[in-house]
Every structure is written in structure tokens, then in C-alpha cells.
Chains A and B, each alone.
Chain A
């Protein structure tokens, strides 16, 4: 079946604009994760969804970042008033069960965001 998909694959925006990044998880996966990876850095956890709720928003770097998940499936990560330091690859992952660590996370290809 299809893996995790993300859109757009690349996004170039101007400082101060809002952007929306989309993630389509693997069908039937209840857990969904967003990460950010800056150039040469490891993955930084942003937010985790269990179904439609987000029990862990601790990684969101500022109130300019928000995310939602509807219907237990598609998720959107929104960055308002983008700053140059927001430039990074945003990765989405999903896993089958309710967020237990032993679950394998399946990653999408990422969205490369460039803020000019």
C-alpha cells in the first residue's frame, strides 16, 4: 500500500507569510508525528497526534506553529508569520497503534521549506 505522503515537496516563501504543510499518513495508522530537521542537524520533535487529539505539543517552538488532524487521518502543520530560522525539512511519520514507543514510525519524504 501507499506510504506516508507529504505536500508540497518544496515550498519557498517570503518572511512573514503563512505556510501550510500537509501529511497523509498510512491508512489505519492512528498515531502521527511531526518533526523538523535543519541542515546538518538531527530530527527535532514538534508534535504528536493520537487520533485527532494532540497529547504532546511540547516540541512546538513557538505559538506561530500549530497543527491539526481531522478524521484521524490527514494532518496540517501551519506556520504563521514565517521567519528565516523556520527554514528546514519538515518530516511527518505515522505508526500503527496508539503511540507506544515500540511501534515502528514510517516517515514521509518531507517538505523542504525555505523562507527568504
Chain B
């Protein structure tokens, strides 16, 4: 399973764009990149998943460069309610990456 590295914590002000980068140097050809969000006292929830280039949904965008050795989760105009822990996972159809790690703790302040 590909190992991932992401910052332990990040701070932002309301209304700013937040970019969280995850490194996964040994990503395999069949691996997908998935991000989950976890609020305090709740289980994680799926945010976005991608394989290459850019994926966008109503919550976030995911940017994946051509070499796929990293990925960036972009949260536009964050609000206080975006304060949460964000997990980057890498895995593919040959298995199931279940290593959530410690994630990135994002704190959004007024």
C-alpha cells in the first residue's frame, strides 16, 4: 500500500481557499486517491476521489499532477464548519487502502 504524508495541521481564516497537499511517492498504477473529512465525534465521510488531473464536486477540488506522486485537496472559501481532520488515502483495485493515518487537522477561524 502506498504510504502517504500530509501536514499534521493547518490554520486558515474564513473565506480563504485552503490547499492540503498529500505526498504518495510510491503510488501504483492502479491506485486511486481519496480524501475523507472527519468532524469531532463523528465518523469520517467521503469528500472526493480521483485518478489523474483534476476532479471537482460541490465540496472540493482535487488536483493530481501527471506523475501522481502527490495530490492537493482544495477547499474554496472555507467557513468555520470546515474545521475538521482531512485524510488522504491511496489504494487501488488490487486491494483496499485502509490506512487513514493521522490526517491534517484544519482549523478555520473568523
* A interface with B by C-beta (< 8 Å): 4, 33, 35, 41-43, 45, 48, 59, 91, 93, 99-110
Q: List 17 A-B contacts (CB under 8 A).
A: A4-B43, A35-B100, A41-B102, A43-B87, A91-B43, A91-B44, A101-B34, A101-B89, A101-B92, A101-B96, A101-B97, A102-B92, A105-B46, A106-B46, A107-B44, A108-B43, A110-B42
User: Which chain A residue lies CB-closest to B98?
Assistant: A45
User: Which chain A residue lies CB-closest to B45?
Assistant: A107
Q: Which of B90-107 contact A (CB under 8 A)?
A: 91-93, 95-103
Asked if B87 and A42 make an inter-chain contact with CB atoms under 8 angstroms apart, the answer reads yes
List residues of chain B with CB within 8 A of the CB of A101: 31-32, 34, 89, 91-93, 95-97
Q: Shortest 7 CB-CB distances between A and B: which pairs?
A: A107-B43, A101-B91, A43-B100, A45-B98, A42-B102, A101-B96, A104-B46
Query: B49 contacts the other chain (Cβ, under 8 Å)?
Result: yes
Asked if B96 and A93 make an inter-chain contact with CB atoms under 8 angstroms apart, the answer reads no
**Which residue of B42, B96, B103 is within 8 Å of A100 (Cβ)?**
B96
The A-B contact count (CB < 8 A) is 59
* Interface class of chain A by DSSP: loop
Asked if B42 and A42 make an inter-chain contact with CB atoms under 8 angstroms apart, the answer reads no
User: Which chain B residue lies CB-closest to A107?
Assistant: B43
How far does the alpha carbon of A45 sit from the alpha carbon of B102 in the complex, in Å? Answer: 12
User: Which chain A residue lies CB-closest to B1?
Assistant: A101
List residues of chain A with CB within 8 A of the CB of B46: 104-106
Query: Nearest Cβ in chain A — how far from B24, in angstroms?
Result: 13
How far does the alpha carbon of A43 sit from the alpha carbon of B103 in the complex, in Å? Answer: 9
Asked if A102 and B93 make an inter-chain contact with CB atoms under 8 angstroms apart, the answer reads yes
How far does the alpha carbon of A23 sit from the alpha carbon of B72 in the complex, in Å? Answer: 33
